[in-house]
Structure 1
Amino acid sequence: MDQALAAELHRRAEQDQAARRRVCETGGAEGLARIDADNSRWLKEVVDQCGWPGIALVGEQGAEEAWLLAQHADRDPDFRREILGLLQEAVDIGDAPPRFLAYLTDRVLVAAGKPQVYGTQYTQDANGGNLRPYAVEDPAGLDARRAAVGLDTAAEYDRRMRASYAPGGK
């Protein structure tokens, strides 16, 4: 395992999450775009040098933190699509959990204006109200697709999302 790479992933993920907590607490997004852009540039370099930083390279926590940074590479859709392919390969060989692929697949689809597959991505009005999932393809098969990648039901996920992000947790 590459301890130095895992430590840097951890440092960057902590910084990412701290910035997102500040947005939730204060509503101000100062520095978030800069952090995301810096993390995206850095992760691109890692991927170019090492391939996808999966469990074998950086451990379970490091792999999750790499995935987190990839999720937040919103300003670089080409890179996220590249990661999607690398992540599929990692899932195929057991070097990343399928849920990582589900979340990133949905994020890429939503960014392209297409319906998501696993129902992991939500949106809400600018005032923080009306939390709802983005459109989902084949809603009747949603829970089966979610179960196949180790996710809980859409109803349970919706409950957690509302508890975490909706005003008053409703």
Structure 2
Amino acid sequence: MNHDLAADLHHRATQDQAARQRMLETGDGRDLVRIDADNSAWLKQAIAAHGWLGISLVGEQGADEAWLLAQHADRDLDLQRQVLGLLQDAVADGEALPRHLAYLTDRVLVAAGEPQVYGTQYTKAPGGKLQPCAVADPEQLDARRAAVGLESAAEYDRRMRVHDAEAV
């Protein structure tokens, strides 16, 4: 395991989460934009040097944090698409969790204006109410979610709405 790389990931993920919390509390997202851009640039370099930052390289927590940085790289869709391909292989090799692939798949699809597959992405509707982004084949949504280790869509929706109410 590369402990230095794992420590870098942990530091960056901690900054990521702190900036998101500050934005929720203050409405000021300037730190968030800067941190996401810095993390995206760092992640590109780390991937170029090491390939996907999987479990055997950075541990389970590090792999989770690498996914988090990719998930939040919304201003770099090319990076997210690159990571999506790497995650597909990493999941097949046991180096990443299937839920990470599900979340990033949905994130990339929604950014491209397409329906999501796993129902993980939400948006604010007019009036500020949280709602799920469009989902392909909604009748099979819970089966797809279960296949990657996610809770039911109804339970996830309940959690998302509780979290949204707490953020207000």
Q: TM-score with structure 2 length normalisation?
A: 0.97
Describe the SS at the equivalent of 1:31.
Answer: helix
Q: Give the Cα–Cα distance (whole angstroms) in 1 for the partners of residues 22 and 135 of structure 2.
A: 30
| Aligned pairs (5 A) from 1:43-58 | 43-58=43-58
SS at match of 1:94: coil
Q: Does structure 2 conserve the Cα–Cα contact (< 8 Å) formed by 1:122 and 1:134?
A: yes
Deviation, 1:168, is: 8.0
Q: Judging changes above 3 Å, is the alpha-carbon distance between structure 1 residues 25 and 168 closer, same or farther for their aligned structure 2 residues?
A: closer
Q: CA deviation at 1:165?
A: 1.2
Counterpart position of 1:96: 96
- C-alpha distance in 1, partners of 2:135/2:163? 21
Q: CA shift at 1:35, angstroms? A: 0.5
Return the offset for 1:166.
3.2
Q: Could you tell me how far 1:31 is from its partner in structure 2?
A: 1.4
Percent of aligned pairs with the same amino acid: 68
Within the alignment, does 1:73 sit opposite 2:88 as a pair? no
After superposition, the Cα gap between the structure-2 partners of 1:104 and 1:165, relative to the gap in structure 1 and judged at 3 Å, is same
1:122 and 2:122 aligned: yes
CA distance in 1, matches of 2:166, 2:155: 18
Q: Secondary structure at the match of 2:30?
A: coil
Corresponding residue of 1:85:
85
Please give the TM-score of this superposition, normalised by the length of structure 1.
0.96
1:151 has 2:145 as partner: no
Report the alpha carbon displacement of residue 85 of structure 1 after superposing the two structures with TM.
0.3
Are 1:40 and 1:73, in contact at CA under 8 Å, matched by a contact in 2? yes
Q: Structure 2: which 5+ runs fail to align?
A: none
The question of whether the paired residues in 2 share the 8 Å contact of 1:130 and 1:166 is answered with no
| Cα separation, 2, equivalents of 1:36 and 1:168 | 21
Tell me the equivalent position of 2:159.
Answer: 160
Provide the C-alpha distance between the structure 2 equivalents of 1:168 and 1:79, rounded to a whole number of angstroms: 29
1:125 shift after superposition: 3.9
Write the distance in 2 (CA, Å) between the matches of 1:83 and 1:117.
Answer: 17
Query: Aligned-pair distance for 1:159?
Result: 0.4
What letter corresponds to residue 85 of structure 2 in structure 1?
G
- 1: CA distance between counterparts of 2:3 and 2:67? 17
Aligned length in residues = 168
Q: SS at the partner of 1:135?
A: coil
In structure 1, how many angstroms separate the alpha carbons of the residues matched to 2:69 and 2:20?
A: 12
- Alignment partners' CA distance in 1, 2:64 and 2:49: 19
Q: Which residue of 1 aligns with 2:60?
A: 60
1:167: Cα distance to partner? 6.0
Q: Which shows bigger deviation, 23-32 or 118-127?
A: 118-127
Is residue 25–residue 167 contact of structure 2 (8 Å, CA) maintained in 1?
Answer: no
Distance of aligned partners of 1:7 and 1:126 in 2 relative to their CA distance in 1, 3 Å threshold: farther
Structure 1 portions without partners, runs of 5+: none
User: What does residue 16 of structure 1 align with?
Assistant: 16
Provide closer, same or farther for how the CA distance between residues 168 and 35 of structure 1 changes in structure 2, counting only shifts above 3 A. closer
